């Protein structure tokens, strides 16, 4: 037991040691490893404040007197490591306190969790006036706690566990006189042996709030408590009631040697392939609650019970990383002892999003979709924005641009958006393009995604107008557009800059639409030459960049970008339109998709009248034209708005209506494979209701003025309040019939000039 008076005043990075006193690094070079750290601290009196600064390579879970206090550090890019400041005072007690930390480290030079960066010097660092990591901390690597790889075609998370606890007779996180006190002293790194980003002076403060941490129970928790006899098997299925992200916590007593297989599932499926051989081997889905005709598909944790638990002080298993689940199935096989299954609960883990926008409409379906969309966004916001929490948990640029807009619409919170912008800038490659997702340990370049980054900066300018951020981002924008400029053909179009996924070094992904399934989301026109969509995206990038440059006073650069955009538009109109005036997917093919018509409208490459005609054709003939999927709905709706066709959105909510009919509680990834049941690019209703139907959006940078321009879309009335960085804007409108114009009333903060457009 260590007295506070004997502690070093300086914290050291530490790691478990070998018998000869060196850092135990061999086991961490090739496989993910879990390391346990423990110390004790005696307090004559609990202080009012006891703040510690904590960091780890790569992740830590801090436990005080058996209670999980915090996990971290926040995800960052490979060149930055953050620290956390945590006040422990509410969790300490008079007398002896056990401070325990579990650290998970992934090999630095091998794929682990794609969004978690590691160095070659794994470790733990904690600093405070009286509690510092040093060699006196006891530590050990748990050889029987291992990461199980999920199916490589589905999920690169590397978070599932197979865990047989260290052979102890007690809980090392709670017992004062524990056998863990016999672990070796920790190894202290010297500064010369540390990775540069881990040096204390190189660490960065956490830029986002800690995740929401709230204990919850499953709907049928009372059915769980039971004793399972020796040499028997039992299966228990628990229902959270909706798709959740959280830390599972299972408590048991007795049952030494019992095996727990813990399946986490998004829902019931009609059929699930046992050994998927490709990305196409997806479960066949229907009613997600059909337990009679369906089966649960998902990923499984495995835990072997140590047997030291009692009903008063139970044995606890909590996976290190949060899990995504709607259903959890426990399959239990006992050995020589009966097992007392005491509880299975979870702690919600998600970004603490404070929603202040409210919208009331006379459309029950849209209201239900709005609720589902908010739930989806919450489940896809953690330390980064995520595509889907069940499979990848990666922050893709296109997905994130949409999710950020949805966040602005409901909360005016930009903290996670700023994190994303910084991460994307850090991922820029020598050729100027950004990695399609960041933070990420793998290279995956989708050329068009760099344009969505410029759009993300434009959005932030309109909502928040942080000129310092824009100025720091401008070199990144210029390098992106220089790439497109260098890859411009002599006829004015953007050349072939990608292909159909691997082995091409760049993936020209556009959208998950059925007609492009065989080419992995890339228009088949890529087989004949350049894509019209990549030229249209470049136009959009030049246009957004020009407005940003104008705002920053770089008028000559803005003029240059407008000239380049106009040159591209001329080439597109000359080379990529058929005899009917429709935009083809490439200059050398006859395929026509809805996507090209949409982006021609968004970039003003076509007149509003012609755009309206082209877009109407794609809406009226869904069999002949590739349609925008869920991922592209935001852009489709903007084109409908710009061409006076917004009323047609009422027919386009059908995919979400089908989701509700199949009892999804979050928006599916797409209506093609439906790989994930939770993907926040489908939360488009969070933008449509406040920004289009109520009609509130910024008209000037920093929301100095706001346009109030409602689009009733078949409704008679709507009202609500919309969050902005400068305060709430209240709007209500009504009309006597569908043929009448709405009568609008609006009120907002004095700092915002309201511009009301009477349609």
Chain segment 566-591, per-residue pLDDT in tens: 999 999 999 999 999 999 999 989 99
675 pLDDT more than 90: no
For residues 426 and 78, which has the higher predicted lDDT (pLDDT)?
426
DSSP state, 622? T
pLDDT tens digits along 467-508: 999 999 999 999 999 999 999 999 999 999 999 976 678 999
pLDDT at 666: 98
Range in 114-123, 370-379, 404-413 with the lowest mean pLDDT:
114-123
Q: Is 537 left (phi over 0), alpha (psi -120 to 50) or beta?
A: alpha
Average pLDDT, the chain: 94
Exposure of 57 by Cβ count < 10 A (0-12 exposed, 13-18 middle, 19+ buried)? buried
7 pLDDT band, cuts 50/70/90, is very low
Number of alpha helices (DSSP H) and beta strands (DSSP E) in the chain: 13, 30
What is residue 465's DSSP assignment? Answer: -
* Of the listed ranges 9-18, 285-294, 587-596, 708-717, the one predicted with least confidence: 9-18
CA nearest neighbour of 386 among 562, 235, 211: 211
| 3-state SS string for 541-583 | HHHHHHHHHHHCCCHHHHHHHHHHHHHHHHHHHHHCECCCCCE
Q: Is the pLDDT of residue 67 over 90?
A: yes
Strand 323-333, strand 233-254: pairing: antiparallel
Residue 27's pLDDT is what? 85
**Cα torsion 171, 177, 182, 184: sign:** positive
3-state secondary structure of 306: coil
- For 119-135, what is the mean pLDDT? 95
Strands 187-188 and 323-333 turn out to be unpaired
On the 0-12 / 13-18 / 19+ scale of CB atoms within 10 A, 122 is buried
Rounded CA gap, 373 and 382, in Å? 16
How far is CA 96 from each of CA 4, 43, 93, 562, 578, rounded to the nearest angstrom? 11, 7, 7, 68, 79
> Average of pLDDT values for 403-424?
97
Least confident of 373-382, 408-417, 663-672: 663-672
pLDDT at 502: 63
Higher pLDDT, 249 or 168: 249
Region 511-538: mean pLDDT is: 96
Q: If pLDDT is split at 50, 70 and 90, which confidence band does 3 have?
A: very low
Q: Is the peptide bond before 123 cis (omega within 30 degrees of 0)?
A: no
Residue 551's Cβ-side half-sphere holds a number of Cα atoms within 13 Å equal to 24
The answer to whether 283 and 676 are in contact (CB under 8 A) is: no
C-alpha 323/C-alpha 340 separation (Å) is 24
pLDDT at 758: 74
For 672, the token pair is 């093609």
Token pair for 489: 């053909």
Residue 610 — very low, low, confident or very high, per pLDDT cuts 50/70/90?
very high
Q: What is the pLDDT of residue 248?
A: 98
- Contact between 71 and 86 (Cβ < 8 Å): no
Q: Does domain 214-350 have CATH number 2.60.120?
A: yes
Percent of the chain clearing pLDDT 90 (strictly above): 89
Residue 112, pLDDT > 80, answer: no
Residue 501 has what pLDDT? 75
In terms of Cβ atoms closer than 10 Å to its own Cβ (0-12, 13-18, 19+), residue 384 is buried
Confidence of residue 651 (pLDDT cuts 50, 70, 90): very high
Burial 106-120 (b: 16+ CB within 10 A, else e): bbbeeebbbbbbbbe
Give the per-residue pLDDT at 682: 97
Over range 13-18, report the average pLDDT: 97
Mean pLDDT in residue range 301-328: 96
What is the average per-residue pLDDT within 509-519? 94
Q: Looking at residue 663, what is its pLDDT?
A: 98
CATH code assigned to 4-144+166-208: 2.60.120.260
* Beta-sheet strands, E only, within 255-338: 259-271, 284-285, 295-304, 315-317, 323-333
- In this predicted structure, what is the pLDDT of residue 154? 57
Rounded to whole angstroms, how far apart are CA atoms 525 and 585?
6
Report DSSP letters for 490-518, one per residue.
TTSSB----BSSTTSSBB------GGGTT
Residue 255 contacts residue 227 (beta carbons within 8 Å): no
Contacts of 475 (CB under 8 A, 6+ apart): none
Please count the other Cβ atoms lying within 10 Å of the Cβ belonging to residue 202: 13
Residues of the chain within CATH 2.60.120.260 domain(s) are 4-144+166-208
Q: Which of 186-200, 492-506, 639-653 has the weakest average pLDDT?
A: 492-506
Cβ(41)–Cβ(4) below 8 Å: yes
**What per-residue confidence (pLDDT) applies to 750?**
96
> Within 13 Å, how many C-alpha atoms sit on residue 85's CB side?
11
- Does residue 5 register a pLDDT over 50? no
How far is the C-alpha of 718 from the C-alpha of 370, rounded, in Å?
Answer: 14
Q: Express each pLDDT in 163-192 by its tens digit.
A: 999 877 889 999 998 989 999 999 999 999
pLDDT digits (tens, 9 = 90+) for 452-468: 999 999 999 999 999 99
pLDDT of residue 2 exceeding 70: no
Of 468, 432, 463, the C-alpha closest to 450 is: 432
Q: Is the pLDDT at 644 greater than 60, yes or no?
A: yes
Measured CA to CA, the distance from residue 482 to residue 169 in angstroms comes to 64
Cβ pair 74, 85 in contact under 8 A: no
pLDDT greater than 60 at residue 275: yes
Beta-strand runs (E) in 193-287? 204-205, 212-217, 226-228, 233-254, 259-271, 284-285
For residue 592, what pLDDT is reported?
Answer: 98
Evaluate if residue 517 carries a pLDDT over 70. yes
DSSP for 165-212, written as a single string: --S-SS-TTT-SS-GGGGSEEPEEPPGGGS-GGGSGGG-EE--SPPPE
Q: 729, 721 in Cβ contact below 8 A?
A: yes
SS3 233: strand
Q: What is the CA 397 to chain-centroid distance, rounded?
A: 11
pLDDT at 277: 66
The secondary structure of residue 453, as a DSSP letter, is H
């Amino acid at each position: 037991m260590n007295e506070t008076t004997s502690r070093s005043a300086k914290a050291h990075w530490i790691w478990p040691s070998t018998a000869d006193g060196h850092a135990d690094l061999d086991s961490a070079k090739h496989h993910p490893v879990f390391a346990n750290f423990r110390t004790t601290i005696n307090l004559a009196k609990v202080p009012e404040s006891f703040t510690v600064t904590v960091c780890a390579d790569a992740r830590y879970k801090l436990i005080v007197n058996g209670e999980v206090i915090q996990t971290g550090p926040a995800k960052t890019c490979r060149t930055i490591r953050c620290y956390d400041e945590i006040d422990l005072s509410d969790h300490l007690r008079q007398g002896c306190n056990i401070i325990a930390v579990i650290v998970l480290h992934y090999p630095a030079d091998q794929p682990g969790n794609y969004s978690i960066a590691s160095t070659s010097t794994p470790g733990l660092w904690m600093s405070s006036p009286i509690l510092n990591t040093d060699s006196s901390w006891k530590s050990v690597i748990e050889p029987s706690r291992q990461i199980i790889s999920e199916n490589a075609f589905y999920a690169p998370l590397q978070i599932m566990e197979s865990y047989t606890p260290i052979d102890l007779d007690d809980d090392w996180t709670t017992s004062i006189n524990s056998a863990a006190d016999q672990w070796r002293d920790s190894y202290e790194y010297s500064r010369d042996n540390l990775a540069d980003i881990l040096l204390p002076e190189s660490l960065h403060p956490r830029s986002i709030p800690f995740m929401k941490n709230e204990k919850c129970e499953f709907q049928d928790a009372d059915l769980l408590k039971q004793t399972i006899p020796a040499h028997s098997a039992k299966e228990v299925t628990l229902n959270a009631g909706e798709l959740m992200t959280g830390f599972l916590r299972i408590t048991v007593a007795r049952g030494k040697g019992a095996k727990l297989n813990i399946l986490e599932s998004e829902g019931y499926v009609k059929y699930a392939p046992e050994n998927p051989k490709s990305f196409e081997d997806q479960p066949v889905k229907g009613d997600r609650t059909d337990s009679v005709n369906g089966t649960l598909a998902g990923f499984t944790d495995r835990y072997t019970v140590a047997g030291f638990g009692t009903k008063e002080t139970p044995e606890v298993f909590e996976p290190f990383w949060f899990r995504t689940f709607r259903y959890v199935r426990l399959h239990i096989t006992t050995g020589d002892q009966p097992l007392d299954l005491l509880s299975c609960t979870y702690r919600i883990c998600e970004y603490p999003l404070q929603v202040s926008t409210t919208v009331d409409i006379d459309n029950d379906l849209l209201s239900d979709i709005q609720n589902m969309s908010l739930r989806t966004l919450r489940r896809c916001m953690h330390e980064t924005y995520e595509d889907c929490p069940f499979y990848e948990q990666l922050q893709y640029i296109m997905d994130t641009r949409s999710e950020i807009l949805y966040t602005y619409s409901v909360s005016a919170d930009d903290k996670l958006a700023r994190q994303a912008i910084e991460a994307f800038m850090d991922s820029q490659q020598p050729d100027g393009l950004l990695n399609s997702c960041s933070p990420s340990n793998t290279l995956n370049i989708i050329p068009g995604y760099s344009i969505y980054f410029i759009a993300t900066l434009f959005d932030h300018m309109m909502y928040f107008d942080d000129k310092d951020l824009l100025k720091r981002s401008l070199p990144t924008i210029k390098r992106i557009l220089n790439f497109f400029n260098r890859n411009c053909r002599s006829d004015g179009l953007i050349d072939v800059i990608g292909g159909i996924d691997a082995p091409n070094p760049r993936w020209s992904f556009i959208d998950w639409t059925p007609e492009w399934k065989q080419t992995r989301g890339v228009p088949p026109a890529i087989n004949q030459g350049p894509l019209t969509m990549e030229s249209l995206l470049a136009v959009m990038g030049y246009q957004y960049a020009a407005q940003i440059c104008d705002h920053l006073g770089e008028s000559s650069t803005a003029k240059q970008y407008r000239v380049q955009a106009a040159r591209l538009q001329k080439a597109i109109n000359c080379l990529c339109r058929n005899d009917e005036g429709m935009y083809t997917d490439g200059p050398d093919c006859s395929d026509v998709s809805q996507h090209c018509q949409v982006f021609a409208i968004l970039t003003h490459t076509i007149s509003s009248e012609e755009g309206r005609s082209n877009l109407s054709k794609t809406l009226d003939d869904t069999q002949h034209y590739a349609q925008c999927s869920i991922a592209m709905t935001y852009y489709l709706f903007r084109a409908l708005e710009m061409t006076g066709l917004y009323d047609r959105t009422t027919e386009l909510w059908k995919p979400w209506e089908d989701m509700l009919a199949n009892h999804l509680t979050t928006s599916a990834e797409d209506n093609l494979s439906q790989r994930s049941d939770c993907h926040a690019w489908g939360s488009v209703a969070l933008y449509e209701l406040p920004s289009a139907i109520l009609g509130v959006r910024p008209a000037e940078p920093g929301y100095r003025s706001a346009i109030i321009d409602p689009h009733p879309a078949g409704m008679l009335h709507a009202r609500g309040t919309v969050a902005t960085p400068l305060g709430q804007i209240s709007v209500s409108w009504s009309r006597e019939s569908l043929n009448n114009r709405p009568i609008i009333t609006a009120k907002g903060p004095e700092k915002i000039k309201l511009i009301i457009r009477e349609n």
